Amino acid sequence: MKKNSKLIFLILLIFSIPSVIGLLHSGFPLTDDGNWMVIRLSSFYENLRDGQFPVRFLSRLNHGYGYPVADFLYPGFMYIGSLIHVLGFSFANSIKIILGLSLILSAIFSFLWLRKIFDEIPAFIGSLIYLYFPYHLYDVYQRGSVGEVLTLAVLPFILWQLENKNIFLTSLGISILIISHNSLALLLIPLIIFYFIFRHGRNIKSLLIPLFLGLGISAFFWIPAIFDQQYTIFGKTQVSDFYFYFVDKINLGLFGLIFVFIVLEGLFYLLRKKDQSFFYILLIFVFIGFLTISYSAFLWKILPFENLIQFPFRLLSLTIVFASFIAAYLLNKESKEKKYILYVVFIVLIFFSAWPFLFPKSYQFLPDSFYSTNQDTTTVKNEYMPKWVKEIPTSMYVSKVVNIDGKEEVNIEKISPNKIIFQTFLSEKRTIAVNTIYFPGWTAYVNGKLSDIQYDNPSGIIQLSLEKGENNVSISFKETPIRILSNLISVMSFGSLFLLWYFVKYKKFKV
């Protein structure tokens, strides 16, 4: 960096401090999803520590019967959170650290991205808009959506690396984006493609390589997430009423005056100059904003994305990127005399728009044991419950292993998140129930031989038909063939990425 850039970078870090003050409080912010995120992280860590990798089935959740939520929902923050927890931080503080670092890094990466295109001060203003855009703070302090906040930190990193033409880091960025929040990634990847074409024309090969490598590296997650949905009730479950989640009069502040000012300033600019490219950017920006309000409901009835997006206001994540880029673009085009006035106006409007969302409404003071023992499913309507479960558990079982139709004693040797070992001597053939909901991957061995698992019972739990005599049983969670294939694709893609880096760096191979 030049000296001037270093100074502005330092000022940016100072200006970023207010965004994380709400996380420095000793309490944990009371948000919509925050508690669920901590509970999910704590259960994820238990399975990871016990040797399940990649983690898919969280054994403690669902009243101890287990729940495959990590097989479907963005595990990125949980891998990061587990690492932070290993360093000695509580589960709640690990989530707060992820949120805080994501905010700061979003400002840093957006500045580094915009500085590749515009002058330092317009890039500085654009990065402040990215950081303090009302919806961004709303995600942190009211929704507690750690996956979305992490994704919004990764996105400008990818855009920065596209400007650097760094295929290696772009690939890694895209893979992290996908595991950070799968639903949001599906919205942002088309945005990344659009941005690349807008900035770099038809040299699409430079994007296709990192895009495919990024998809390949994250295949361990997204391929099973798609394939395994057939085993769940997700497709038949309406998680939320889509039409209740538009931006309305009550939460109109999610746009902020900064949105209105950027649109007006953009229109004034177009009145003075014929800039076709900017016209389309501004049009898309306004259209995305329109899709988040209830007047666009007629379009959502046509678009087949209701279940995918779930909340129309989630599209405001896209407006954050457009707002920061458009503001920097306009400031870069203005005359020196007007620039200084606009700098002040933008900064005032940024913080004025952000103020209502800058701090959580309240805090809670719960011990870490509240999270590490909680058995909630951490989903809205148990939408990833296996479809063979007819009676959803409402309380924890008395014993993990039960002799259903006999009185012979069951000697439990081991119960861990990923494995149950027990012995029993039966006077005749019996059915033994293991109070864990079956999901593909659970495997049983009886006296060293693979045994069939029965789960066609109302609770959908693991049941074994054991023969008369001594039975040494080991039940463990393992990878299925499709998951093994997905893991192999990830390993091969990661290896290919390093090979590509080696050939580009040392063999002068051009891509």
- Close Cβ partners of 305 (under 8 Å, ≥ 6 residues apart): none
Buried/exposed code over 88-104 (b: 16+ C-beta within 10 A; e: otherwise):
ebbbbbbbbbbbbbbbb
Q: Are residues 462 and 354 part of one domain?
A: no
Nearest alpha-carbon partner for 313 in 138, 149, 195? 138
SS3 content of the chain, % helix, strand, coil (to 5): 60, 10, 30
Looking at the structure, do residues 197 and 329 belong to the same domain, yes or no? yes
Do 299 and 366 lie in one domain? The reply is: yes
**Do residue 367 and residue 451 come from a single domain?**
no
Q: Quick check: 253 and 357 in contact, CB under 8 A?
A: yes
pLDDT tens for 311-331 read 888 899 999 999 999 999 999
In this structure, the answer to whether residues 439 and 365 fall within a common structural domain is no
Question: Residue 453 — φ and ψ, nearest 5°?
Answer: -105, 130
The verdict on residue 485 lying in a domain is: no
> Is 190 domain-assigned?
yes
Query: At which of 321, 351, 372 does a domain end?
Result: 372
Residue 301: predicted pLDDT: 78
DSSP labels, 114-162? HHTTS-HHHHHHHHHHHHH-HHHHHIIIII--HHHHHHHHHHHHHHHHH
**Could you tell me if residue 121 is inside a domain?**
yes
Phi, psi dihedrals of residue 385, rounded to the nearest 5° = -70, 135
Contact 258, 353 (CB under 8 A): yes
490 inside domain: no
What residues does 424 pair with on adjacent strands?
A: 410, 471
| 296 and 252 housed in the same domain | yes
User: Does residue 202 belong to any structural domain of this protein?
Assistant: yes
Predicted structure pTM score: 0.94
For the domain that residue 405 is a member of, what is the CATH number? 2.60.40.1180
Q: Is residue 388 part of a domain?
A: no
**What is the total residue count of the chain?**
511
Task: Write out the two tokens for 25.
Answer: 């409080």
How confident is the model at residue 478, as a pLDDT?
96
Is there a domain that residue 271 lies in?
yes
Question: What is the distance between the alpha carbons of residues 131 and 109, in angstroms, rounded to a whole number?
Answer: 10
Distance CA 151, CA 75 (A): 12
Q: What is the pLDDT of residue 340?
A: 87
Q: Give the count of domains, the chain.
A: 2
Domain co-membership, 156 together with 300: yes
> 409 lies in which domain range?
401-478
Q: In this structure, are 462 and 342 located in the same domain?
A: no
pLDDT in tens, 367-376: 999 999 999 9
Same domain, 456 and 308: no
Asked whether residue 19 falls in the same domain as residue 149, the answer is yes
* Same domain (yes/no): 171, 210: yes
List the chain residues with pLDDT less than 50. Answer: none
Residue 112 and residue 29 in one domain? yes
Residue 279 lies in a domain: yes
